[in-house]
Amino acid sequence: MAVTYLKQAEPHPTIESADIRDTMAIMLAAIERDGERAVRRYAETLDKWTGPIVPSDGERQAACARVPEQLKDDIRFAHDNIRRFAEAQKATMGECEIEHMPGLAAGQKQIPVTSVGCYVPGGRYSHVASALMTITTAKVAEVSHITAVSPPRPETGIPDAIVYAMDLCGADLILNLGGVQGIAAMAQGLFGAYPADILVGPGNSYVAEAKRMLFGKVGIDMFAGPTDSLAIADHTADPETVAWDLIGQAEHGVDSPVWLVTTDRALAKRVLARASELCHALPEPNASVAQTSWRERAEVILCNGRGEVVEVVNRYAPEHLQVQAEDLDWWLANLTTYGSLFLGEETTVSFGDKTSGPNHVLPTSRAARYTGGLSVHKFTKTVTWQRCTREAPNELALRTARISRVEGMEGHARLAEMRLDRTVTAAGE
C-alpha cells in the first residue's frame, strides 16, 4: 500500500504510564484500606470539595430546578433518542433453546448485571451527554442499581445540568466525586452505593488507569485513550465542511488525533490551508487546544482509490469515522473497523456525541479492531443453561468419558459414566 502523507503527526511521547500506575496503585490501596475517610481526603485535596458527598433529595431537586427550561427540553430530546436507540438494541437480544437430541436441551438467557457505576467527566468541559449515554443505557438494560459520579466544582458541586441529566435518566445515587476517588467509591460501594459490577464512562488518563487496574475485580466498558476521529472525503466533499469537522473534534484535547483520508489532492490542500485558520475561530482555551492537536497530532493521507482508503481506515481503526463521499451505501457495506460511522455531509460527529441516539462511549486507540461501543449488551450477561433427563442417550455419557480419559481427567470420565449407569438402569426398569 503506497499512500502519500501530505501531513504527518509529530513524534508523540506517551504519558508516563508507569508514574500514573504508581499513583493509582497508591490511591486505590489507600481507599481500599481507609474507605470513605480516604475518599473524602482525596475529594478535599484534588477537587477542593468539602461539601456533602451525597446530595440530599432537596439539593438534587434544587439543582434540577435551576436548569433553564430550554436546556431541560434539549436534554430531554437527547435522552429520548438515546433511550429509543438502546431499546431497539435490546430488542435484538434474544433468548433461545435447542433440543440437541431426545433428553438433552440447552439454551441461552439474557440477565442484566445488578449494579453499575457511571463516571461522568467534568474537567475542562461539563459532559452532560456522558450522563445521558451511560445512565440511560444501563436503565434500558434493566440494571437494578445505578450510581453516578462527576467531579464537583468548588463551593457548588456537580453542575446543575449534569445533575438534571443524571436524575432524568434514572440514577439511583449521585456522588459529588471525581477522578480515582469516584471510581474507587463506586467499585467498593461506599457512601450507600451498591458495589459496582461494571464501571463505565469516559475520563482522563488517571480515571482510565484506575479502571484498568480494577478490571477483574469489576467489569469495565473498555480501556479508553484520547478520543480520535477520521474523515473520508472525495472530490464531491466541501473542503470547508471537512476542515470544520476535523477542527471541531480536535478541541477534545491536545492529545486527540484527527485524520483526513482522501482520494483528491486538491481537496486535501484546501483543507490543510483552511484548518489552521479555523482554530482561531474558536474561543479560548478551545482554540489553543485545537491548534495544538492539529499541529502535532493531525494527519492528511492521500490514497489511490477507495479500496486503498478502506485499507488505511482498517489500520487506523478510528473511534469516529465520517464519510463525505459519493456512493454512501458502498462505504457502509465495505467499512468494517470503527467505533461509530457517520455517513454524509449532513451527518456530523457532534450529533452522535450529543443527541442523535447511538452511544458516544466508543473504542479508542485502535480498539475498534475488536470491540464496539457502549450498548445494552455491555450491561447484560449472556448466560447458558442445559438440562438432561433420563431419556438422554448413552452416546452423550460414552463420548464424554472417552474424551475425558484422553485428557487425563478420570474424575470427569467417572462422572459421565455414573449418568450412563443411571440411563442403563432406567432403560431396564
Sign of the torsion angle spanned by Cα atoms 35, 195, 171, 120: positive
Domain match, 62 and 204 both: yes
Instruction: Quickly tell me which residue has 484548518 as its cell.
Output: 275
CA distance readout (Å), 34 to 28, 39, 41, 210, 283: 10, 8, 10, 17, 43
Residue 6 lies in a domain: no
| CATH for 306 | 3.40.50.1980
In a domain, 3, yes or no: no
Do residues 79 and 211 share a domain?
A: yes
Phi, psi of 379 (to 5 degrees): -95, 5
Q: Is the residue at 232 inside a domain?
A: yes
Residues 243 and 332 in one domain: yes
Question: Distance from first CA to last CA of the chain, Å, rounded?
Answer: 72
Angular region, 129: left φ>0, alpha ψ -120 to 50, beta rest: alpha
Q: Are residues 282 and 410 in the same domain?
A: no
Tell which of 159, 187, 221 closes a domain: 221
User: Does residue 35 lie within any of the structural domains?
Assistant: yes
Cα dihedral: 292, 353, 344, 289 (round 10): -10
Longest dimension (CA), the chain: 89
Q: What are phi and psi of 112, to 5 degrees?
A: -70, 150
Q: Is the dihedral of CA 194, 148, 340, 251 positive or negative?
A: negative
* Res 13: pLDDT: 59
Q: What is the residue-level pLDDT of the chain in tens, covering all 429 positions?
A: 578 999 999 876 555 577 888 999 999 999 999 999 999 999 999 999 999 999 999 999 999 999 999 999 999 999 999 999 999 999 999 999 999 988 899 999 999 999 999 999 987 777 899 999 999 999 999 999 999 999 999 989 999 999 999 999 999 999 999 999 999 999 999 999 999 999 999 988 899 999 999 999 999 999 888 999 999 999 999 999 999 999 999 999 899 999 999 999 999 999 999 998 999 999 999 999 999 999 999 999 999 999 999 999 999 999 999 999 999 999 999 999 999 999 999 999 999 999 999 999 999 999 999 999 999 999 999 999 999 988 877 889 999 999 999 999 999 999 999 988 665 555 444
The x, y and z cell numbers of residue 81, run together, are: 433518542
* Triad 69, 350, 331: Cα angle to 5°: 145
Same domain (yes/no): 128, 192:
yes
Active site residue 320: yes
**Are 32 and 120 found together in one domain?**
yes
Give residue 124's pLDDT.
72
Instruction: Report if residue 379 sits inside a domain.
Output: no
- On whether residue 325 sits in a domain, the answer given is yes
Domain count, the chain: 3
**Could you please report the per-residue DSSP string of 33-54?**
HHTHHHHHHHHHHHS---S-SS
CA distance 201 to 186: 12
Q: Are residues 60 and 162 in the same domain?
A: yes
What is the structure's pLDDT at 421? 64
Per DSSP, the three-state class of 426 is: helix
Residue with cell 476521529: 229
**Final residue belonging to a domain, choices 373, 402, 419:** 373
Return the pLDDT at 389: 87
The percent of the chain in helix, strand and coil, each rounded to the nearest 5, is 50, 15, 35
Find the catalytic residue in 69, 320, 360, 407: 320
Q: Are 133 and 374 in contact (CB under 8 A)?
A: yes
CA distance 184 to 239: 45
Query: Does residue 145 carry a catalytic annotation?
Result: no
The per-residue pLDDT for 16 is 58
Is residue 103 assigned to a domain? no
Q: Find the DSSP H helices in 280-338.
A: 286-297, 306-316, 328-334
The reply to whether 263 falls in a domain is yes
**Domain boundaries, position 324:** 226-373
Which residue among 195, 221, 247 closes a domain? 221
Which is catalytic among the residues 209, 251, 319, 360? 319
With cell 463420548, the residue in question is 399
C-alpha–C-alpha distance, residues 35 and 179, integer Å: 15
Fill in the DSSP letter of residue 407: T
Same domain, 301 and 263: yes
